[in-house]
Structure 1
Amino acid sequence: MSIKFAQVEKDKASDKILILKNPTRYIPQSIEDMADLSLQLQQGTETKQVFIDIVSIKAFTLRARLKSVTEIETLDLNKIQQAVIEIKNPTFILEKLKAAFRQLPCADDENLQANLPHNIEFIFGPPGTGKTTYLAREKVMPLITGTNLINILVLTPTNKVADVFVKKLMAEIALNPAQKGLQNQLIRFGITGESEIEQAGLLKDKAFDISHLTQCVVVTTIARFLYDGFSTSLLKAYDWDVIIFDEASMIMLAEIAYVLYQQKASCQFIVGGDPFQIQPVVIAEAWKGENIYTLVGLQHFQAPQTVPHDFPITTLTTQYRSVPPLGSLVSQFSYNGILRHHRQLTDQKPLKIERLDLTAITVIKFPVNPYDSLYKSQRLEGSGPYQIYSAIFTVELAHYLSQQIRTHHQDTWKIGLVCPYVAQATLVDKMISAHTMIHPQVQLVTGTVHSFQGDEFDMILTLLNPPPHISSNIFLNNRNILNVALSRAKDYLILIMPESEGLEQLNKLEMILKEDEIKPYVQEWTSAQVEQILFNQPNYISENSFISTHQKINVYGKAEKKYEVRCEENAVDIQLGEWDR
């Protein structure tokens, strides 16, 4: 499979890292764990091949670290017309897993649940409860500052989660100047998306000799545990005393089971995460919905229990992220209303938006019509459902909010635009990029719910576009996915919801919004009412859009409408007219 990128830039912090932008297709998460990648840089009739050490996904861009910077020293990246990267089929992880399991001293019919080791501890941390901080402060720091030398391995589902863990540890170490030397024992293995980690000298690759360290904390992705390591030892062959799994709900069951059974009997395991957040993206259909929590039966926040042993469980019940109305919504939706809230409503970030006075929770309902090209839900092959109207509406709303914040505020804002499906997220992201809504004061981040787990934002716009056909197993009827989408906001949550039937989890959400504890902080509008506020016209988007089918040959002149859209199963083209910046 190949992915083409229309733009190539050098990373400001490192000449060895290229930033690849505007991909032609969705970038699979599995690319971060692949080795021996190469990049074709095309300039006119010439093609230059450069070799990549490792890559990292960030939103809709790919950061690629070159094996040698000399390969691009003579290239003018501004003249590169296209960059193409060939990636392996994600099943290579499956092959690594199969080979690894064959080496375990287990019978083919062994019951992996019944024979789980006793030495597993669970840290159950709902959104915003400081789970990663707890793991760093209460688990790792006491171990590495104790009297015994100890080797700790932290395994995460993604590089992004690994980076967050490392930064938490860096912050804990920095709190005590006498412990500054501990940072020399901290290793980020693989690739990082954070220049702060690289500049601190923590990023190590397979050439590093780990044998000279008397104790260490290594943080990496769990996929690398199967096949990767340092010059003197593979990760799975090293003598680990403690292994920590962070954001464990996202880790494939087969991956975590292998680690539990492969390690020595004296190794202690700590599982940090939340069974009510996103489940793993799996290779085999039979693994769908399965993770360590389903294996041990940990499915209740109130009075949790496990099998086959009564594993110790620490539940974190105070959330520090959101103001009380937002925290109460999440608490009622997924955690039996048990969560306490550290922040007060008076802590809410002040916000002035002309004509659009936002409360903590704002619900905006948009129409869905299967007989109207603008309002109908459609499906893009390989990327999932999208709806043109709600995408345009969300971009217009984000643009207005960004303008208002820059006009009335001096402080910086981080705003997230969350979509359940790749196609819708890509549509929104590309329109925002085309409108150049880039300003240091307002950071707009667009992505799928999966890419937002572990993040937090001052404001979240959650765009819940439905698929063409409603069923019980769609994303909008998945409590875990909605739980993550709802819980990213610190101060303001805007729910952009469809007027559709059969969405049971959204119906549950609306019932919670009407409860006495939350209702005073909720307001509801229709998208037409918001259009009236933004444009002085309730049907502005409809009147300024033209939708047609995508032809085999398309010639684009000047756009007659603000939004001219051409759709087919494999592509969506949006030609933008005049835009008020």
Structure 2
Amino acid sequence: MTATLTYIRDWQKAILAEIIHLKKYGSTRYLMLNGRLLSKSDSYTYFFDTPSTIKVPTGSSIKIEWGSRKVEGRILSSEGNNVILALDENLGMDLSETYLLHDPWELLDQLYQRLEDMKESKRKRSRIKKLMNPSMPAKHPEDKIKTSTHELILRSKYNPVTYVWGPPGTGKTYTLARVAANKYFKGQSVLILAQSNQAIDVLMAEISAFAANKKKVPDGELLRYGSQIGPALSDHPSLTANYLLQKHHSNLAEKKDSLFEERRLLKYDLSRSFSKRDSDLLIDVEKKLSGILEKIRQKEIEFIKSASIIGSTLAKAAGDPAIYEKNFDLVILDEASMAYVPQAAFAASLGKRVIICGDFKQLPPIAAARQKMAEKWLREDIFHHSGVSEAVKDGYLHPHLFLLKEQRRMHPEISAFSNKHIYHSLVGDHPDVLAARSDIAACAPFPGKASVLLNAAGSGEYGIKDGNTNSRINLWNLLLSFQLIHESYIGGSRSIGYVTPYRAQAVLMEQLLGELYEKELTEADIIAATVHRFQGSEREVMIFDTADSFPHERAGMLLIGKESERLLNVAITRTKGKFIHICDLDFIQKHVYRNKTWRRLADHQLQNGQAVHPDKIGKWIKNQHARLQWMHARKMERVKEDIQSAQRKIVISLPEAEKLGEGWGKVFSLRHKSTKLILLAQNPIRAIQTDEVIPHRFPFPFILIDEQILWLGMPAETHKKAKPPYVAARLDSAVAGTYLTSQFNQRK
């Protein structure tokens, strides 16, 4: 058995390796413009404009990169489109363009220090020992169990450590909230921890709603501690420290609000026209605000001392002595499968009893360092290292593992795959979930179907890699996905998610939605993200774009690698009523083994009659968007009009240029004499007279006009692996045009 001190030392080595990696490679870069020196005393205070909001906490250590120089400093203020920094060195009065570099290693350093504290505390080490080696017999009286919630209440009363396995939609929030409220009603203290602010907000809101139905809860008894409060608490404002401050210390709250507003106006004036008077006033406001915030901090400490249930993120708790120096009767760690093992140990060290809740079938923690200890302790969750998940692999539930067995989120057509292939029939459907989700499944696209495989095979070879990041991109899948979002929206859906394994694909969809769907985004809950970013969220309609296709010679590791089952599980189980899986079946059947989860998903959908093949594209596309139209690729009337209207340049990509039809030469000859024609092909061709040939071959044909109008899939005869029906898409998008231009410019 490993000694607890050995665990702690190994965790510190892992954290130190991650810190070193982040310091060396992990900086996030933010562009800053128009830097002006405001003052110089102990440090040099600068004001910068920023093209977009920089979300870095006040007080964070940063670096400034200006040419070849790098200077350290810290954030004084970051809100809106400007920042105020305190730098260690003078960079001059005016800085036209600089970069802010922020390393998120400071949070890890705080965790490192908490581990150091544990070395000196026998009580904390004892709690960690039980967490890591839950071999003690379970002591809760099984004969007294009335319901599943009651079982967890009993487990957390009689056992020092309880692991909760909460697959998606199984009532994790409902159950944990009632356990926390039960402890509160008995006069016990509870700490709620999680990685994300959203998880804390949702759980605290549920606790508040349940407790308020049982008895009147005095203000301050339940406290959501932290500054990043989300919409989940909009109906529960009394949980926040800001509410308590306004109620009990309104003068401080008013002074803070007044100074924030004064600072905002001064920063706005400075961004428009710099003046010495405004800069001096801003420095004075910052000093006053610092004093007020310190007084507010002392009041918040009083709120923490008075609260019975406190909700906080792991990062906030590890950096705040008001939390980590307290001892709680019960600690509940939600999202535990996303937390580092040392974070779970930190959580367990704070309470007499601990509930560790998560789903080890979803995505594990993320670490960047390629170092032995970091890979061991920061890339796998506490369920794995405690032996709890290994017991499940061996065919039984660990004595200290409590499984939530009934899912209420997904339509049964969707959950059928995850229940069987991911959770091995340990999880089933609630009897009411079919009726609850049928209305969503009834909506377009594919009315009446809850699970759909949209087969993109035969469309052509659209698989490429982004020139900047090497992340995979598939423009055909991207446009199909946008069309699905549009059909869903027109069909009445207002909760739509788009997920993909690849960041470049997700970013491009996010930009495309911002350009083409600006109004709809304000009226509906539509999000585009990687699967990793989407964990913990849910939508009524989910579109899963796998992006992988020919001419790639193998599937990406995100879809077939070690953690691919977890990634696919997250993608599927975010859905309530309609799951649409976009993939190239020919590619899967050629390059993905039958035992891989992605192949199993495709086979499952095929066998259950859920596949929609390319020949049905004309039937499911009911609503052409004004800026995205689909048509037969052999019809040339509209593309002729666009070519004749071109003002600056036309770029044409021909994968198999020798197959270009004779009629295209005449079509391109119709362009204005001043319009430049650029050919992307290995060699010039006789059929068309070009102004420039770039010897780069995209695997798919397209025509790009003035970096705005994109004809994807034309000229159709130059395709590879394309089969009837030959379909082309006309997209009016500066986002897509700029992206494609950047890609072939990189390859010149």
- Please report the TM-score for the alignment, with normalisation by the length of structure 1: 0.72
Aligned counterparts, 1:63-78, within 5 A:
none
Q: Aligned letter for 1:133?
A: Y
**Equivalent position of 1:126 in the other structure:** 167
| Separation in structure 2 between the aligned mates of residue 201 and residue 355 of structure 1, nearest angstrom | 42
Deviation at 1:318, TM superposition (A): 0.8
C-alpha distance in 1 between matches for 2:180 and 2:76: 36
- 1:171 offset after TM fit, Å? 2.5
The Cα of 1:271 is off from its aligned counterpart by: 0.5
List aligned pairs for 1:392-411, cutoff 5 A: 392-403=479-490, 405=491, 409=492
Measure, in 2, the Cα distance between the counterparts of 1:117 and 1:65: 49
CA contact (8 A) 2:62 2:102 kept: no
Q: Quote the residue 2:502 is aligned against.
A: 421
The residue aligned with 2:535 is 453
Structure 1 Cα separation of the partners of residues 318 and 553 of structure 2: 39
Among 60, 69, 80, the residue aligned to 1:36: 60
Corresponding residue of 1:94: 108
Matching residue of 2:132: 116
**Residue identity matched to 1:459:** V
Stretch deviating more after TM superposition (179-188 or 214-223): 179-188
CA 1:130 to 1:350, structure 2 compared with 1: closer, same or farther past 3 Å?
closer
Q: Equivalent residue for 1:502?
A: 592
Q: 2:185 is aligned with what amino acid?
A: T
Report deviation, 1:98.
3.2
* 1:333 matches 2:387: no
Offset at residue 183 of structure 1 (A): 6.2
- Please say if residues 170 and 405 of structure 2, whose CA atoms lie closer than 8 Å, have aligned partners that are also in contact: yes
* 1:529 and 2:616 matched: yes
SS of 1:496's partner is strand
**Equivalent residue number for residue 525 of structure 2:** 443
Aligned match of 1:2: 29
* Amino acid paired to 2:434: L
Percent sequence identity is 17
- Structure 1 residue 294, shift from structure 2 partner: 1.1
Find out whether 1:486 has 2:523 as its counterpart: no
Q: Does 1:104 align with 2:115?
A: no
Shift of 1:402: 1.6
Structure 2: how far apart are the matches of 1:174 and 1:270?
23
Partner SS for 2:217: helix
Cα 1:557/1:295, change in 2 over 3 Å: closer
The residue that corresponds to 1:77 in the other structure is: none
Task: Tell me, in whole angstroms, the C-alpha distance in 1 between the residues paired with 2:133 and 2:709.
Answer: 65
Deviation at 1:103, TM superposition (A): 3.6
Contact 2:202 2:232 in 1 (8 A): no
The change in CA–CA distance for 1:423 and 1:491 in structure 2 (over 3 A counts) is same
Cα shift readout 1:93-130 (whole Å, capped 9, x = no counterpart) = 333333333343279xx997788375211111111001
Q: How far has the Cα of 1:35 moved from its partner?
A: 4.3
Structure 1: runs of 5+ lacking an equivalent: 7-19, 41-48, 56-62, 68-81, 574-581
Alpha-carbon spacing, 1:214–1:392, altered in 2? closer, same or farther (3 Å): same
Distance change (3 Å), C-alpha of 1:432 and 1:37: farther
The CA deviation string for residues 152-191 of structure 1, in whole angstroms up to 9 with x for no partner, is 2111111222222222223223433x33326642223241
| Counterpart residue number, 2:177 | 136
Query: Cα–Cα, structure 1 residues 163 and 353, in superposed 2: closer, same or farther, change >3 Å?
Result: closer
Q: Distance in 2 between matches of 1:209 and 1:268?
A: 25
Q: Which amino acid aligns with 1:244?
A: I
* In 2, Cα distance between equivalents of 1:540 and 1:131: 54
Paired residue for 2:558, among 445, 456, 474? 474
- Larger mean Cα displacement after TM superposition, 564-573 or 434-443: 564-573
Higher relative helix content: 2
**Are the aligned partners of 1:170 and 1:183 in contact in 2 as well (CA < 8 Å)?**
no
Closer, same or farther: CA 313–187 of 1 in aligned 2, 3 Å: same
Query: 2:24 aligns to what?
Result: none
Query: Aligned pair count?
Result: 492
* Counterpart among 346, 349, 367 of residue 435 in structure 2: 346
> For the Cα contact (< 8 Å) 1:418–1:462, is it kept in 2?
yes
* Greater per-residue strand proportion: 1
* Structure 1 residues 489 and 557: alpha-carbon distance in aligned structure 2, compared to 1, 3 A threshold: closer
List aligned pairs for 1:381-400, cutoff 5 A. 381-382=468-469, 384-400=471-487
User: Which residue of structure 2 lines up, in the alignment, with residue 210 of structure 1?
Assistant: 301
Name the counterpart of 2:333.
245
Q: CA RMSD in A?
A: 4.4
Q: Counterpart amino acid of 1:396?
A: Q
Aligned to 2:364: 279
Give 1:334's aligned amino acid: I
The equivalent of 2:208 in structure 1 is 170
- 3-state SS in 2 of match to 1:322: coil
- For the pair 1:293 / 2:331, whether they are aligned, the reply is no
SS in 1 for 2:167: coil
Structure 1 residue 366 displacement after superposition: 1.9
Residue type of the partner of 1:509? L
Query: Could you say which structure has the larger radius of gyration?
Result: 2
Task: Tell me how far apart the structure 2 counterparts of residues 318 and 133 of structure 1 sit (CA, whole Å).
Answer: 13
Q: Secondary structure at the match of 1:462?
A: strand
Letter in 2 for 1:507: R
Shift of 1:489: 1.2
The normalised TM-score by structure 2 is 0.57
- The code of the aligned residue for 1:430 comes to Q
Partners of 2:193 and 2:347 within 8 A in 1: no
Contact map agreement 1:39 1:83 (CA 8 A) in 2: no
* d(CA) in 2 for partners of 1:64, 1:314: 47
Contact residue 156 and residue 247 of structure 1 kept, 8 A: yes
Distance in 2, Cα, partners of 1:97 & 1:449? 27
The 8 Å contact of residues 132 and 385 in structure 2, kept in 1 or not, is answered as no
Q: Which runs of 5+ in 2 are unaligned?
A: 1-27, 34-48, 65-73, 85-95, 135-159, 243-296, 622-628, 640-650, 654-679, 681-693, 697-703, 712-729
For residue 354 of structure 2, the aligned residue among 265, 269, 275 is 269
